Structure 1
């Protein structure tokens, strides 16, 4: 709220600036002289003063119900839910709202008609499984080394600041910069002594915790929403959860999802590929296969067709859900490997000859040679010996090719 966009359980949503949204947001409710600290709770359909856990659960339920991409969704209602959650899920904003209402929150944050620069986003990679992609999930994660406003000095850096002597409180200085040999120009730059703040603290007045910086490295707990069907390397943006800096709008957290390889399934878009080895009997007489899907269910796959080696057969709509359209699914494709028997007795061979179509195995002349199984190891030894003999043959040195 108030210039801080927010990400719901379905990914990133557009940023709503204060001038465009806040006035419209509050004009939807009648103004009261008493402290107004109930309306945001009413939007989330929970009792006033509910704890943050209740707020988050109510937000997830209502966001799914009113998301504009879902059947029966409502864009206006969804935006109200987002803004109410943004205030009530933040401990500091919730505390102010509960005591002073929405007008007190506006005064405290001083955001009306004021624009802030935004901190750089905090970026990270996060691994998820293919099952997460199929089912959807929420992952909790603790971020370290996130810049937070120092609570000891409230981001001020210390007490009793004085004007910087280098820039005389102007925050910038004139610097002589060489742009090429023999040519120098004067440029303005942030003062290096006060780091563009215009004020400095004496050593004894500096905050002992942040040493005058106004910020410290801290930990942040985040919850990463993983939508069904999400593509690899998709960026989930968590607005306002990143770096903090006095005078700046909170930075965002960019989470890049990396999908780990599944031991059985291979993903191609919304389709899944699966390899299965079956017996020769199953390939000829029909197949009835039990298969565990990514939602931990067992499905029966059956066919009476003859299955050829390396052939691919398809089960419709048993792939992954479509991203942003989870009611539609891709297909599941199964590639079959046929496991042949290693040996058969003569009686079975005779029966197969009688049953299966095709020519009989009879000799037509005396020029008959017996087939043997190819031995890769023996072949490699034979090839290496040939190459060794060629290197040792003196007649091969300087031999020219014949021209025909």
Structure 2
């Protein structure tokens, strides 16, 4: 009597490649060591290996579906093939351990989960529940200060390995990840895309993490939510007063009067003209203007005397 490979794997004849893989995984783990001591386990394990070896191969499966075990192992007639000759006979290699290792990638599908020399007891625990996740992948995302002030959308294409429907083979596919950058995000902000790394039959894909890196700006230096602007002024202006024209990141033109005497540690704070707060975009940090005072390289005796006279007044 012909063997019923479908019955051996406990599936119907309409089973997909994914169904075949899942059935073999489930039954092979039940029959594999250390369960060989049970009556019939060794023979059942061999039958499972042969059934999977046939049904997982499209050509062998097609011959078996049409001609049964007799046609598979005895060879099919010329009219079935395209070469005009009888097909070669199928012979199972007879080593179910080889089939098992090829499927799981090793002789112990749970090797990564055994710790402290403690054996794992199957007890109905499904392999999917014991998979370990790959280490997360970090990538820098460089953004301008303007991007972080206004917010923006960035689309990033990644290429990753994806499991095919058979649950055993894989292919490389592209995917677009979309990042909605919020106004006010700071350097070091992390955006995580869970489980978007490479897929595999025995792993949980890694998380992909993008880390915000801020590009330098030609005018402003960011300090938390504040913006620092350094203005160069002459000693004359430092002593007599002046105004600073500032074009802000949102396009406004500010004219900031400086009526105080500007000393080296002096700062002018313009409230509410800094970066938006990421928690509340209606709130903003401050604009802080610092000064680089340009002293004259030399003075004539006459100018020195005039300065002395000017500074002598109280």
* TM-score for the superposition, normalised by structure 2: 0.50
2:309 alignment partner, one of 348, 354, 357: 354
1:156 alignment partner, one of 141, 151, 166: 166
| C-alpha deviation, 1:263, in angstroms | 4.1
Residue number in structure 2 paired with 1:22:
none
CA distance in 1, matches of 2:266, 2:171: 60
Unaligned runs of 5+ in 2: 1-127
| C-alpha deviation, 1:322, in angstroms | 0.9
Residue number in structure 2 paired with 1:4:
none
1:300 alignment partner, one of 249, 255, 258: 255
> 2:312 aligns to what SS in structure 1?
coil
Is 1:334 equivalent to 2:289 in the alignment? Answer: yes
| C-alpha deviation, 1:248, in angstroms | 9.0
CA distance in 1, matches of 2:279, 2:206: 26
| C-alpha deviation, 1:122, in angstroms | 4.9
2:185 alignment partner, one of 230, 249, 261: 230
> 1:356 aligns to what SS in structure 2?
helix
Q: Is the 8 A contact 1:119 1:245 kept in 2?
A: no
Per-residue CA deviations over 1:186-211 (Å, capped at 9, x if unaligned) read: xxxxxxxxxxxxxxxxxxxxxxxxxx
> 2:229 aligns to what SS in structure 1?
strand
| C-alpha deviation, 1:340, in angstroms | 1.2
| C-alpha deviation, 1:259, in angstroms | 2.0
Residue number in structure 2 paired with 1:132:
147
CA distance in 2, matches of 1:349, 1:250: 75
> 1:319 aligns to what SS in structure 2?
coil
CA distance in 2, matches of 1:127, 1:323: 18
Per-residue CA deviations over 1:122-180 (Å, capped at 9, x if unaligned) read: 54221222222211111122223x12244xxxx216xxxxxxxxxxxxxxxxxxxxxxx
| C-alpha deviation, 1:228, in angstroms | 1.2
Q: Is the 8 A contact 1:139 1:223 kept in 2?
A: yes
> 1:139 aligns to what SS in structure 2?
strand
CA distance in 2, matches of 1:334, 1:127: 26
CA distance in 1, matches of 2:236, 2:230: 18
Mark the CA change 1:281 to 1:223 in structure 2 (over 3 Å): closer, same or farther. same
Residue number in structure 2 paired with 1:398:
none
Instruction: Compute the RMSD of aligned alpha carbons.
Output: 3.1
CA distance in 2, matches of 1:229, 1:344: 48
CA distance in 1, matches of 2:217, 2:138: 25
Residue number in structure 1 paired with 2:158:
143
CA distance in 2, matches of 1:245, 1:295: 47
Residue number in structure 1 paired with 2:227:
272
Residue number in structure 1 paired with 2:270:
315
* TM-score for the superposition, normalised by structure 1: 0.40
Q: Is the 8 A contact 2:244 2:258 kept in 1?
A: no
Instruction: Tell me the matched-pair count.
Output: 185
> 2:297 aligns to what SS in structure 1?
coil
CA distance in 2, matches of 1:141, 1:124: 11
